[in-house]
Amino acid sequence: MNKIIMHYDMDAFYASVEIRDNPKLQGKPVIVGTRVVTTCNYEARKYGLHSAMSVKEAKKLCPKGIYLDCDKEKYYEISKTIQSLILKLSHNVEFIALDEGYIDISLLYEKYKDLDYIAKKFRERIYKHVKLTCSVGIGYNKLSAKIASEVNKPNGFFIIHNEEEFKNYVKDKNIRIIPGIGKKTQEILAKYGIKTIRDLQNYSLLALQGILGHAKGIQLYENALGIDNRKIEFERKNKSIGNETTLTVPVKNEILIKENLKNLFDGVFKRLKDSKYFSKTLTIKIRFSNRETIQKSKSLRDYSKNYLDLLSLFNELLEEIDFSKEILLYGATFSNLKESFSEQLSFKNINKINKNSKIVELQDKIKKMEKKNITNLNRDSKS
């Protein structure tokens, strides 16, 4: 393996948190979500329940289930704890959801030369600190790592060492095993008799591009062969900080929507506050029931994480939105982010403010931290 990537994914995340915090729920089907199921534990999945189905439908299939409301703030805090544990192992990470991310473990492998051991220690470490289980996949790129983490879910791990192993594992699987193949793509491909990865592999690049368009055609052609050149992008997810909520039924109630939007804004503001970023721009997104979507943005003159500054942007934006129509989705996002830079300029250190030397300093710092944390993992393993 050249690069070695680990993908982790917490098991039934929201539901596991609720069970952890109320052990009486252990062994019972637990469903989280008010109108829509956000997730359910594996006991509930036995009844055919899954994310995104309505709670009403879920109750029909599993009337004895325990139905709980979401506590997103709690899940967010736990996610931050997990992420900070991971950042102690490597800075070459990409968090793609609250409970999921990629970690470049090439350096750890150089040190331990044992992937089973790394996966085992990683899962033990997460469990020790947050008392939640996760599944882990190790692969030679992001795609193989992500697919590997599903293999022994929940609470397991799997390793895909190379393209040969990848092709062997996926050949008889449904094409939806490839992340990003949604219902629409499945329907299009089904018209050509393409259901499994093997079917996909029988098609040429040109043929797939003819069916799916240039970019998607290449992506699926390569993915079917286990090729994925995407890099781990630490900052990718941080270019903006936002959230949005889709309502199950359209709502025409100005006071209610404004109140919900304000709660959502407060949640997003908290994430900004806890991050290393300052923001200049706030965007509010609204989708009306006729699917018309508007996005309105306003910017401050300077970067800020002052609540009142950003709240004033929020209030100005609300003025511009027509709340007399039925609304289906609302969201708030901070963008134009800049890292905090709190070093005080003084004559003594003014010579240091040289961009290149700053970058070298940072790189050295990260290398030192990574070395130190590899040692820490070593120490943990002995304890």
58 touches ligand TTP (CB under 6 A): no
Q: Which span (7-15, 157-165, 217-225, 261-269) binds ligand TTP, by CB under 6 A?
A: 7-15
Per-residue tokens: 4: 């070695």
The least distance separating Mg ion from the CB of residue 135, rounded to whole angstroms, comes to 8
φ, ψ at 108 (rounded to 5°): -65, -40
100 annotated active-site: yes
Report the distance separating Cα 124 and Cα 134, nearest Å: 9
Residue (11 or 228) nearer to ligand TTP, CB: 11
The correct pick among 13, 157, 169, 221 for binding ligand TTP (CB under 6 A) is: 13
51 touches ligand TTP (CB under 6 A): yes
Site string for ligand TTP, 144-183 (x = CB under 6 A): ---------xx-----------------------------
Angle formed at CA 275 by CA 273 and CA 278, multiple of 5 degrees: 70
Report the distance separating Cα 279 and Cα 300, nearest Å: 8
Report the distance separating Cα 102 and Cα 242, nearest Å: 21
Report the distance separating Cα 375 and Cα 377, nearest Å: 5
Q: Which span (3-11, 212-220, 269-277, 319-327) binds ligand TTP, by CB under 6 A?
A: 3-11
10 touches ligand TTP (CB under 6 A): yes
38 touches ligand TTP (CB under 6 A): yes
Of 164, 309, 146, 155, which Cα lies nearest the Cα of 230? 146
CB atoms within 10 A of CB 88: 14
99 touches Mg ion (CB under 5 A): yes
Peptide bond just before 23 cis, omega within 30 deg: no
Q: Which of 18, 43, 94, 100 is catalytic?
A: 100
Binding site for ligand TTP (CB under 6 A): 9-14, 38-39, 51-52, 97, 99-100, 153-154
What residues act catalytically? 100
